[in-house]
Structure 1
Amino acid sequence: MSLVYLQQESTPLLPDSIWALKWTSQNQIISGSADGHLRIWDPIELSTKPIYDLTSNPLAISSLSTTKNGKYALSTSLDGTVVLADVENGSIISKVETSREVVGQGEKELPAFTSAIHPENKCWAWSGRSSKLAIRPIEQDSLAQEQPTNGDDAETSGNGEGSSIKRGSIGGEGKSIDTGKGKFGMDLQFSPDGQSLALSTEQGQVIVLDVETQNIVATYTSHNKAVRTISWSPDSQWLYSGSDDHLIVLCDVRAGSKSGSDGKGEGAVAMMQGHQSWVLKVDASPDGKLLGSGGADSMIKLWDVGQRSCVSTTTGNSEIWGFSWQPTATDTFAAGKQFAVAGDDKAVTLFRAAGSV
């Protein structure tokens, strides 16, 4: 079986590469660029200017996540700055400099490279230059009182000399967890049901934690090089990982552990081969039937999850750092019929299944 997806409209060329991409449940596309900007787009009018263009982060944006309702987005830049944005209003409401403040009382600093926001906005997590990850609750009372800014005039918080950071709802007391694996966190993703948190490392591990207990419940070691990207299936039962070893690995987190250490899931269910270079992004379709991937080989691939096989390959113009499916909604295309990609070509481009109207 093969599928045909046709290239549709694209955004105007941006000043720099796009390293992060997310299509929200409110049918908006958010791009995070190497120029430190978050841009919010209307996919129906993608070729025009963005709805909002936020000067959100001081350096290149290395990760981007959103809440389930599409209202909030969390972005991380290479200097460790984490930003909470109100997507609906196109505003920045909180910033934290993770490289300049401790995680919590009695803790140390943990500079962030990647972060993730809980789908129900209950907490957020981050990791980076360490084997540790950190989790902080999101203070709802503080969130309700926060005054949005455009990203250029945040209040001073006292996090350091010359700081102009408003910590707000994401700046409370947190806790760090030592995974004991790897020396650098590459990607971090909450499961759609909010019960699990997955971390990938530069040494090839994928680690799964129980969000409530904050205990490690599984460690996968199927890759032998850096795992740059992970994605959960919509039902939170499958976990996909893409690596510098050119492989995509599928793990079933429901599988019982043979180690006797209370872990869930031991080893890979399947490995999917086809990329000729680093796998930079994987993303599961809303119905769970397809997996999309983009790589440093400029290839955009679609995989049939049930058959464990590649069913579509398109060669892009440059490295593909962002891939995001359009969420299912009553007023949009059916699940798995439209997705967006972005990367070093400095534009967001839509692809639509042939025959879709």
Structure 2
Amino acid sequence: MSKQFVHAHDSSRGHEDKIWALQWTTAEQCLSAGADGKLLLWDTTKANGAPVRQLQQHPLALISLSGNTEGTRVLSNSIEGTTSLYDVQTGELLGKHESFERRAGITAEPAWSVSLNPNGATYAASNGSGSVTIHSTEKESFGKLVQTLLSGRSKFGLSVAHSPDAKRIALSSETGAIYIFDVESATLIATFSSHAMSVRALAWSPDSQVCSPHTLSCLRI
């Protein structure tokens, strides 16, 4: 790959620091979240253009992104656990939850990775306790804890992802284990421990039958 090709795809006004997460919205547009706290929308048909829109400017790094099936909404999470939901095309903030904030009778469990349910009704979050927490996306109760899915291991959850059919949730941990939960019954249905080191990213196949960790090995569920 030549330097000329690489620089032909540079943006004149993009991120000022490392990009930590990407999310497609449509076949032509994608979102990027960076260590500079910016959430930017890009038109991929304009290889050398500026961002279409900036949806967010957070004082700390943004580390996780997730969108709904239609590509109309995107969920972001910052390194300290501020989860925000945006309308992709208007940039409107639809909900915000500071998961690190301690409240009376509630133990704070800062979110790390987040996954918007494909139907948009809820979102899932991983945390330091090895569980998956399910939260409301309703405007008046955004971030409210709805359910907790327990893996049985108190290990940091590095990545969480809904299957495209919204029936399952995958969680990966710092130890390399991958847990699969059934959403309807809220039960752990499978555990895979083939990785010797941390699994930092997960992706489902379009038919929801295969979950692939970032090492490119595939697990049939």
Q: What TM-score does the superposition give when structure 1 sets the normalisation length?
A: 0.57
- Which amino acid in structure 2 is aligned with residue 61 of structure 1? L
Query: Which residue of structure 1 aligns with residue 187 of structure 2?
Result: 215
The answer on whether the counterparts of 1:26 and 1:70 sit within 8 Å (CA) in structure 2 is no
- Which amino acid in structure 2 is aligned with residue 93 of structure 1? L
The answer on whether the counterparts of 1:181 and 1:205 sit within 8 Å (CA) in structure 2 is no
The answer on whether the counterparts of 1:110 and 1:127 sit within 8 Å (CA) in structure 2 is no
Query: Which residue of structure 1 aligns with residue 125 of structure 2?
Result: 126
Structure 1 counterpart of 2:199, from 213, 221, 227: 227
Query: Which residue of structure 1 aligns with residue 166 of structure 2?
Result: 194
Deviations 1:235-256 (A, max 9, x none): 10011012xxxx4321100xxx
Query: Which residue of structure 2 aligns with residue 49 of structure 1?
Result: 50
The answer on whether the counterparts of 2:95 and 2:137 sit within 8 Å (CA) in structure 1 is no
Aligned partners of 2:74, 2:128: CA distance in 1, in Å?
Answer: 22
Deviations 1:203-251 (A, max 9, x none): 1111011111111111110101100011000110011012xxxx43211
Deviations 1:332-351 (A, max 9, x none): xxxxxxxxxxxxxxxxxxxx
Query: Which residue of structure 1 aligns with residue 99 of structure 2?
Result: 98
The answer on whether the counterparts of 1:65 and 1:73 sit within 8 Å (CA) in structure 2 is yes
Match of 1:174, SS state, is strand
Aligned partners of 2:184, 2:58: CA distance in 1, in Å?
Answer: 30
In the TM superposition, residue 182 of structure 1 has moved relative to its aligned partner by 4.7
In the TM superposition, residue 107 of structure 1 has moved relative to its aligned partner by 5.1
The answer on whether the counterparts of 1:135 and 1:174 sit within 8 Å (CA) in structure 2 is yes
Aligned partners of 1:198, 1:211: CA distance in 2, in Å?
Answer: 10
Query: Which residue of structure 1 aligns with residue 9 of structure 2?
Result: 9
Query: Which residue of structure 2 aligns with residue 249 of structure 1?
Result: 217
Aligned partners of 1:169, 1:68: CA distance in 2, in Å?
Answer: 22
The answer on whether the counterparts of 2:177 and 2:193 sit within 8 Å (CA) in structure 1 is yes
The answer on whether the counterparts of 1:182 and 1:205 sit within 8 Å (CA) in structure 2 is no
In the TM superposition, residue 79 of structure 1 has moved relative to its aligned partner by 0.7
Aligned partners of 1:212, 1:53: CA distance in 2, in Å?
Answer: 36
Query: Which residue of structure 2 aligns with residue 39 of structure 1?
Result: 40
The answer on whether the counterparts of 1:57 and 1:81 sit within 8 Å (CA) in structure 2 is no
Aligned partners of 1:107, 1:176: CA distance in 2, in Å?
Answer: 14
With over 3 angstroms needed to count, the CA separation of the structure-2 counterparts of 1:56 and 1:85, relative to structure 1, is: farther
Rg comparison, structure with higher value:
1
Aligned partners of 2:27, 2:144: CA distance in 1, in Å?
Answer: 28
Report how many aligned residue pairs link the two structures. Answer: 215
State the superposition RMSD in angstroms: 2.0
In the TM superposition, residue 76 of structure 1 has moved relative to its aligned partner by 0.7
Long gaps (5+) in structure 1: 1-5, 143-167, 254-357
Aligned partners of 2:19, 2:136: CA distance in 1, in Å?
Answer: 29
In the TM superposition, residue 177 of structure 1 has moved relative to its aligned partner by 2.5
User: Does 1:184 find its partner at 2:185?
Assistant: no
Match of 2:206, SS state, is coil
Aligned partners of 1:174, 1:223: CA distance in 2, in Å?
Answer: 31
Structure ranking higher on relative contact order (CA contacts 8 Å, 6+ apart) = 1
Query: Which residue of structure 2 aligns with residue 61 of structure 1?
Result: 62
Query: Which residue of structure 2 aligns with residue 112 of structure 1?
Result: 111
- Which amino acid in structure 1 is aligned with residue 53 of structure 2? Y
Aligned partners of 1:89, 1:117: CA distance in 2, in Å?
Answer: 18
Aligned partners of 2:198, 2:154: CA distance in 1, in Å?
Answer: 10
Aligned partners of 1:231, 1:123: CA distance in 2, in Å?
Answer: 19
Q: What TM-score does the superposition give when structure 2 sets the normalisation length?
A: 0.89
Aligned runs of 1:252-267 on 2, under 5 Å? 252-253=220-221
Deviations 1:85-137 (A, max 9, x none): 110102222111101146xx975321111111001102101012211220023
Match of 1:124, SS state, is strand
Match of 1:113, SS state, is coil
The answer on whether the counterparts of 1:208 and 1:219 sit within 8 Å (CA) in structure 2 is yes
Aligned partners of 2:77, 2:160: CA distance in 1, in Å?
Answer: 11
The runs of 4+ residues in structure 1 deviating greater than 6 Å are: none
Question: Percent of pairs identical after alignment?
Answer: 34
